[in-house]
């Protein structure tokens, strides 16, 4: 413990003479701890429990040590003002320990737990690294061949016929890619083989304004094709290749049997990527779709009572087959619906809304094109008011060039249709505009009977009409 005078620090000098006489020590303890040959106490470093290693110089006179006025406890008759020299070593003057303490150095300490853990971890890492390096070196120098496990090479590559892979394997040999060069540029489309004579069905807009048509088969073989005929109203065309053996015509299905939810596969050449196969379902039937109209006079507009599918269809798929689970063609891919033109994020490709011409319609038109080079359109012999904004299709007041809007002695006139009548239903199906009426009519053949619901003077009536025929474009 530290002793000072009125809070003043004690000097760092050491007193080696016997204790002053004004101290009182318990009997028998004054020099009990002193031994001969013990060095003088060391200089204090300011710590509470340690003594300096160096002995105080022996030539320091005792009188240089400051004195302190400390009354000795238990001593009577002493004046507090009597000065006394106080040694600088911090010790208990009443203790039985010697004034000097021999420096025996720091007590050895054992190895701590964390040092053992660190040493073990470092040893393990070093051993692992060396072992790994030696293993790699030995493997590289070894003559043994390294071979990773793999499935057996003779695995069965057959697929179920109704699977997408099975359908693709059946249909791909009959699907072709068309490269068309015309006065306005070049383009790519798709088609499929109809018969062994080399007739190929595709879209009219694929071969429109064509000067040279090249057909490439799935085998990579390319030949030149000739245009047989096309019809922009149905957006269908037939081309023919000659001198090609081993053709694989696709089987035609029945689009009347298609139901919403049926699985389908589309094959084509989107963005000139030939033999691309995509899959989806029939998401709707009887969708009224119009496409084209680039000429501005309406002569190139196609009207389709389409099958809707979510199988991805993109530019280049046009004219390709839409196949059912039996690999039968149920539609001819023709159009897609993109994002709105006003939308800055408008997509140029598929957003899951593709449309195909029903194969029943395609079959009839293809037969006519092969036979005569032209297709016929079913008509009712009236001119429609395409600006009518109400519900239904309104018969115009006048026809082209001032002629009557209802052709005299035509199918509509014989059924009793008049100018100004609004046709609201075809065979019980709602019609919302002139385009839908044309589409519903063209979904039939010339000579088919239809029942029309007509609104006249606020009253509805039904009329029976037999479709007539007109040459297509």
Dist. CA 272–CA 189, nearest whole Å: 8
Residue 440 token pair: 């519903």
Name the active-site residue from 199, 204, 210, 235: 235
Closest CA to 356 of 329, 379, 376, 338: 329
Q: Which of 274, 302, 318, 334 is catalytic?
A: 318
Question: 269 near 203, Cβ under 8 Å?
Answer: no
Catalytic residue, chosen from 199, 205, 328, 377, is: 205
Pick the closest to residue 450 from 436, 435, 462, 465 (CA basis): 465
Verify whether residue 205 is a known catalytic residue. Answer: yes
CA–CA separation, 62 vs 446, rounded Å? Answer: 142
**Beta carbons of 453 and 465 less than 8 angstroms apart:** no
DSSP string for 372-411 = HS--EEEE-SB-B-TT--SSSEEBPSB-GGG-BSB-TTSH
Separation CA 453–CA 442 (nearest Å)? 17
Say if residues 446 and 378 touch (Cβ distance below 8 Å).
Answer: yes
DSSP states along 158-218:
---TTSHHHHHHHHGGGEEEEEEEETTEEEEEEEEE-STT-EEEE-HHHHTTEEEEEEE-T
Both tokens of residue 417?
Answer: 């249709």
Q: Is 235 a catalytic residue?
A: yes
Backbone CA torsion sign across 301, 302, 307, 313: negative
- Tokens 């499935």 sit at which residue? 151
Residues 426 and 450: beta-carbon distance below 8 Å: yes
Any alpha helices (H) in 294-384, and if so which ranges? 359-372
Q: Are 318 and 268 in contact (CB under 8 A)?
A: yes
Asked whether 305 and 332 are in contact (CB, 8 A), the reply is no
Spatial distance between the Cα atoms of 85 and 69, rounded to a whole number of angstroms: 9
Mapped onto helix, strand or coil, the DSSP state of residue 106 is coil
Q: CB burial class (10 A; 0-12, 13-18, 19+) of residue 127? A: exposed
Distance CA 344, CA 346 (A): 6
How many angstroms separate the CA atoms of 98 and 110, rounded? 30
Active site residue 318: yes
Residue 72 to residue 3: CA distance in whole angstroms: 12
Active site residues: 205, 235, 318
């Amino acid at each position: 413990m530290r002793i000072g005078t009125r809070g003043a620090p004690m000097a760092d000098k050491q007193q080696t003479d016997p204790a002053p006489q004004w101290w009182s020590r318990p009997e028998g303890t004054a020099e009990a701890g002193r031994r001969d040959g013990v060095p003088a106490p060391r200089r204090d470093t300011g710590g509470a429990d340690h003594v300096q290693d160096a002995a105080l110089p022996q030539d320091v006179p005792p009188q240089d040590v400051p004195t302190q006025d400390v009354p000795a406890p238990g001593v009577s008759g002493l004046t507090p003002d009597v000065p006394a020299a106080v040694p600088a070593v911090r010790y208990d003057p009443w203790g039985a320990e010697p004034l000097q303490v021999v420096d025996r150095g720091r007590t050895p300490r054992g190895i701590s737990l964390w040092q053992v853990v660190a040493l073990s971890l470092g040893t393990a890492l070093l051993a692992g690294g060396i072992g790994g390096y030696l293993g790699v070196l030995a493997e590289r120098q070894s003559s043994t061949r390294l071979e990773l496990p793999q499935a057996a090479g003779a695995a069965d590559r057959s697929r179920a016929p109704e699977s997408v892979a099975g359908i693709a394997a059946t249909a791909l040999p009959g699907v072709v890619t068309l490269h068309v060069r015309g006065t306005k540029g070049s383009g790519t489309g798709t088609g499929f083989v109809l018969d062994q004579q080399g007739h190929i069905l595709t879209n009219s807009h694929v071969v429109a304004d064509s000067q040279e048509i090249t057909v490439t088969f799935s085998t990579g073989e390319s030949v030149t094709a000739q245009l047989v005929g096309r019809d922009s109203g149905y957006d269908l065309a037939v081309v023919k290749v000659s001198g090609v053996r081993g053709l694989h015509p696709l089987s035609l299905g029945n689009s009347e049997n298609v139901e919403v939810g049926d699985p389908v596969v589309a094959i084509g050449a989107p963005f000139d990527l030939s033999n691309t196969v995509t899959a989806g379902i029939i998401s709707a039937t009887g969708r009224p779709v119009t496409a084209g109209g680039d000429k501005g006079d309406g002569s190139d507009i196609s009207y389709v009572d389409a099958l809707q599918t979510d199988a991805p269809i993109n530019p280049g798929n046009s004219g390709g087959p839409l196949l059912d689970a039996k690999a039968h063609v149920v539609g001819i891919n023709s159009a897609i619906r993109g994002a709105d033109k006003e939308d800055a994020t408008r997509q140029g490709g598929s957003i899951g809304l593709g449309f195909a011409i029903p194969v029943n319609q395609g079959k009839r038109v293809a037969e006519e094109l092969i036979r005569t080079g032209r297709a016929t359109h079913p008509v009712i012999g009236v001119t429609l008011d395409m600006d009518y904004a109400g519900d239904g299709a309104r018969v115009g007041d006048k026809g082209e060039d001032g002629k009557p809007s209802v052709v005299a002695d035509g199918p509509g006139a014989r059924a009793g249709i008049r100018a100004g009548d609004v046709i609201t239903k075809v065979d019980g199906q709602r019609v919302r505009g002139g385009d839908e009426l044309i589409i519903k009519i063209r979904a039939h053949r010339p000579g088919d009977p239809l029942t029309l619901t007509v609104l006249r003077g606020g009253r509805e009536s039904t009329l029976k009409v037999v479709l007539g025929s007109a040459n297509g474009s």
